[in-house]
């Protein structure tokens, strides 16, 4: 990667070696990073990535758009109403 690259992770925290990412950011191998996921979540306040000005960490809110939150609320409401009526929930979670 070019040293002007910006690393983005919106998948899962485990796919990134955060120690290696820290080294790449502090050595200039990467210009910056944006993380919506980490391991663990949330990172402890003493985690070195939190000290970097070239690393932005969000609390796993990448999907938090009006549309997705509205859809989640509708699914929950429809499931609740169906459950109260004794019907099969339309978005039932099968474990």
Peptide bond into 40 cis (omega under 30): yes
Task: Answer for the pair 53, 37: CB distance below 8 angstroms, yes or no.
Answer: no
Catalytic residue among 60, 62, 79, 89: 60
Q: Give the whole-angstrom CA distance, residue 66 versus residue 80.
A: 21
Q: In the annotation, is 47 catalytic?
A: no
Q: Give the whole-angstrom CA distance, residue 26 versus residue 76.
A: 43
Q: Where in the sequence numbering do the catalytic residues fall?
A: 60
């Amino acid at each position: 990667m070019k040293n002007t690259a910006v690393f983005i992770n919106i998948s899962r925290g485990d796919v990134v070696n955060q120690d290696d990412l820290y080294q790449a950011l502090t050595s200039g191998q990467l210009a910056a990073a944006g993380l919506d996921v980490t391991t663990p979540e949330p990172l402890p306040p003493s985690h070195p990535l939190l000290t970097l000005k070239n690393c932005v960490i969000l609390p796993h809110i990448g999907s938090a758009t009006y549309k997705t939150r509205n859809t989640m609320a509708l699914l929950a409401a429809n499931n609740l109403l169906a459950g109260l009526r004794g019907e099969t929930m339309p978005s039932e979670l099968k474990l």
